[in-house]
Structure 1
Amino acid sequence: MNYILGLINLYEDNSLIKEFTHKRPIATIPFAGRYRLIDFALSSMVNSGITSVGITFPEKAASVLDHLRSGKDWDLARRHDGLFYILPDKDENNAHQSDLKTFYQNLEVLQHNPQEYFIISSGHTVFNMDFNNVLRFHQNTNADITILYHKTGREFQSPCTLIKTKENGLVTDIAKRSKTRKDSEISMGVYLMSRKIFSAIVEQSYERGGSDFLVDGIMRTISQYNIYGYYYDGYVSNINSIADYYQTSMDLLDPKIWNELFINKLPIYTKTKDDVPTRYKHHAQVHNSLIANGCVIEGLVEHSILFRDVKVKKGVEIKNSIIMQNCQISENSHIENTICDKNVIVSSQKCLKGAENYPFIVEKGTVI
């Protein structure tokens, strides 16, 4: 796959997940105990043999740099190719920066890459797949653009991109919607096209005043190109809201989904961090939960996800919740249907409880 360049686009709508994105893009939100959301797209590219991957930088880039660094953990710290960053030019007028504008500003550099094809992915979609199959489909159908899509088994109350396809896979319509019905054909936010078509779309769309690669670059040129949909039948979740994040995290407690994402297929890589094993003390009770290393547990944890270095004191009950790194839950507190971001301290005898389908959010560094 040395003839494919990977691009991960971090310009994403965070309006429904702002509690987690004050200082980070959606792509670096912690997930599954030790990962970040960007790990899924990046690992799928690496596992498919893609050795050159570019990351577009959003405004809040510090967490991206801290997580990815040189790309060593994904075997992308290379003398040639490897991981590189696509930076926006400084705009003296402080004009709005967009993905299409950033691609246009860096088009000359991207055009000089030797790869014949570009695969562009969002950083907020959870999946684990081999892109070699997508390339074969793209070539066999003589597609100009291939859009990867999946079908959801439940309704989503968050923005998404829907497509309509004919029996042969030809895309006849692309539309953005604020919510999704069951069994809709939902774009995964992953597109495959040749370098030549990518350059033409970016150049033409930006010079016509466009700002969004999907809306102005693909949706408005649907009549100009043969666009095919590639159906992926594995587990996929697009995370655009708090509800999406919570439901997708709870999905991981289903062994079938966990095995599909992390065990049965190629590995998902992330930033390496060594730590001591979790300690389960005398009164600890843990049921159907995902516990990262470095935790100390003295209370009850049920149907929940605990990240690294979480401290759960005596008499604590944690149910249907997500507790991120370095949180401390003090004695006799009750946490249910709640997400605690990193470094939260809950003092003794507190009760935090959210709705069954929409969790209570505790922002990073909060002391309760």
Structure 2
Amino acid sequence: MRAVGIILAGGNNNRMKELTHKRAVAAMPIAGSYRSIDFALSNMTNSHIQKVAVLTQYNARSLNEHLNSSKWWNFGRKQGGLYVFTPTITNDNGYWYRGTADAIYQNMDFLKKSHEPYVVIASGDAVYKIDYGKVLQYHIDKKADVTVVCKEMDPSDDVSRFGTIRMDDDMRITEFEEKPMVTKSNMISTGIYVIRRRLLIDLIEHAAEEERFDFVNDVLIRYKNLKKIYGYKIDHYWSNIATVDAYYKTNMDFLKPEVRNYFFKQDPEIYSKVSDLPPAKYNPGASVKNSLVGSGSIINGTVENSVIFKQVFVGNNCVIKNSIILNDVYLGDNTYIENCIVESRDTIRANTRHVGTNGIKVVVEKNERYAL
């Protein structure tokens, strides 16, 4: 494909509360066996983009460990490959990434040394499948300067945390507001953009000269009347996980047969780093209904409408309902968990009860089971 890929995965997010205290949003576990960034990476490789840069910064260790071998996404190749860039102190620069545009600017050599004429920019915190090749062809056909992938949300959804857009009959974007207090449109930007590589270099360098650091506000919104910016509308599944409620809902969506079928049984595939773990074990007396259970887990109690990730131990007489249990959690006997997200590597002591009464409760036990 005639494009390089850039995945923006470096930002901090306070809306995830304790869940991002020790990992980046792009490293959040999804659907029992995946990480959020797996979806963007899989879309890149399925679209035949051979050269992809992941820009990381905040709490990047877990994410970097996940990306330490590019073969899982078929980027282990002679030409192209997977590049992970973190902020680097140089003679010319002593800053962390100050925004999405600044992150691209600090890795400008990657763009200047590439030969592909186009760039596909995506975020690492969304769950979806898309053929970037179709977006690129649409971009070429429209003779666009920038193409923004957009989606019309349900009227009941809170779109104030997204960039909202309005388009004319030719799909050209006429209005673009980033995280508006009062929304005029349910059409949102999904954070996926296609742009010509040389134009991107020019716009980013110009923004840096004026000390402007945000790609949406300082490039897209600023140039919406000067450049031809078009929207490419999608109508299939897309979900951003950047809040606790959105993360919970996205994982719960995978309990629906149609969502599981779309992601796991229909081409193209979603790839992830594979762990050498045995299958989940269900001991006598275990009861599991409408749930996903990751490999390496041992279930003794009752699990209903929940997502259980890898290497989770569920003790005797435990009851887990409508909850997400992240990797490597030990649940003692007689534990009751409902409407909760239990942080990874937690030990929940026997006879403990956690119930999310006013929304989803994030359970973080301050007990470390591992010596330094």
Question: Is the contact between residue 298 and residue 314 of structure 1 (CA under 8 Å) also seen in structure 2?
Answer: yes
Question: How far does residue 355 in structure 1 lie from its aligned partner after superposition?
Answer: 3.1
Is there any run of 5+ residues in structure 1 with no aligned partner, and where?
Answer: none
The answer to whether residue 83 in structure 2 is matched with residue 97 in structure 1 is no
Deviations 1:64-105 (A, max 9, x none): 220011311111122321101233231689645223223222
Question: In structure 2, what is the Cα distance between the partners aligned to 1:11 and 1:219?
Answer: 21
Question: Is the contact between residue 24 and residue 61 of structure 1 (CA under 8 Å) also seen in structure 2?
Answer: yes
Of stretches 156-165 and 20-29 in structure 1, the one that deviates more from structure 2 is: 156-165
Deviations 1:302-356 (A, max 9, x none): 0000001111111111000000111111111110000011111111111101136
Question: How far does residue 181 in structure 1 lie from its aligned partner after superposition?
Answer: 7.1
Question: How far does residue 278 in structure 1 lie from its aligned partner after superposition?
Answer: 1.2
1:36-75 map, 5 Å: 36-75=35-74
Of stretches 208-217 and 319-328 in structure 1, the one that deviates more from structure 2 is: 208-217
Match of 2:227 in 1: 225
Call closer, same or farther: CA 1:32–1:5 in 2, change over 3 Å: same
AA aligned to 1:172 is T
The answer to whether residue 80 in structure 2 is matched with residue 81 in structure 1 is yes
Question: Is the contact between residue 340 and residue 362 of structure 1 (CA under 8 Å) also seen in structure 2?
Answer: yes
Question: In structure 2, what is the Cα distance between the partners aligned to 1:292 and 1:178?
Answer: 39
Question: How far does residue 179 in structure 1 lie from its aligned partner after superposition?
Answer: 7.2
Call closer, same or farther: CA 1:326–1:103 in 2, change over 3 Å: same
Question: How far does residue 263 in structure 1 lie from its aligned partner after superposition?
Answer: 1.7
Match of 2:189 in 1: 187
Of stretches 41-50 and 256-265 in structure 1, the one that deviates more from structure 2 is: 256-265
Question: In structure 2, what is the Cα distance between the partners aligned to 1:158 and 1:309?
Answer: 37
AA aligned to 2:139 is H
AA aligned to 1:330 is G
Match of 1:122 in 2: 123
Which of the residues 298, 301, 309 maps onto 1:307? 309
Of stretches 77-86 and 203-212 in structure 1, the one that deviates more from structure 2 is: 77-86
Question: How far does residue 277 in structure 1 lie from its aligned partner after superposition?
Answer: 1.2
Question: In structure 1, what is the Cα distance between the partners aligned to 2:101 and 2:115?
Answer: 21
**SS of match in other structure, 1:120:** strand
Question: How far does residue 206 in structure 1 lie from its aligned partner after superposition?
Answer: 1.4
1:119-198 map, 5 Å: 119-153=120-154, 154-156=156-158, 159-177=161-179, 184-198=186-200
| TM-score, structure 1 as length reference | 0.94
User: Could you say what the CA RMSD is over the residues aligned between the two structures, in angstroms?
Assistant: 2.1
Question: Is the contact between residue 11 and residue 58 of structure 2 (CA under 8 Å) also seen in structure 1?
Answer: no
Call closer, same or farther: CA 1:157–1:348 in 2, change over 3 Å: farther
Match of 2:345 in 1: 343
Deviations 1:157-212 (A, max 9, x none): 76211111112211111112267979811111100011011111101111111011
Question: Is the contact between residue 50 and residue 79 of structure 2 (CA under 8 Å) also seen in structure 1?
Answer: no
**SS of match in other structure, 2:263:** helix
Question: In structure 1, what is the Cα distance between the partners aligned to 2:198 and 2:158?
Answer: 35
Call closer, same or farther: CA 1:185–1:54 in 2, change over 3 Å: same
Is there any run of 5+ residues in structure 2 with no aligned partner, and where?
Answer: none
Match of 2:201 in 1: 199
Deviations 1:38-58 (A, max 9, x none): 000110010011110001121
Identity score, percent? 33
The answer to whether residue 101 in structure 2 is matched with residue 106 in structure 1 is no
Question: How far does residue 30 in structure 1 lie from its aligned partner after superposition?
Answer: 1.1
AA aligned to 2:61 is A
1:167-316 map, 5 Å: 167-177=169-179, 184-316=186-318
Question: In structure 2, what is the Cα distance between the partners aligned to 1:5 and 1:180?
Answer: 36
Question: Is the contact between residue 159 and residue 188 of structure 2 (CA under 8 Å) also seen in structure 1?
Answer: no
**SS of match in other structure, 1:221:** coil
Question: Is the contact between residue 119 and residue 190 of structure 1 (CA under 8 Å) also seen in structure 2?
Answer: yes
Deviations 1:219-245 (A, max 9, x none): 111122100100111100112211110
Question: In structure 1, what is the Cα distance between the partners aligned to 2:24 and 2:73?
Answer: 20
**SS of match in other structure, 2:6:** strand
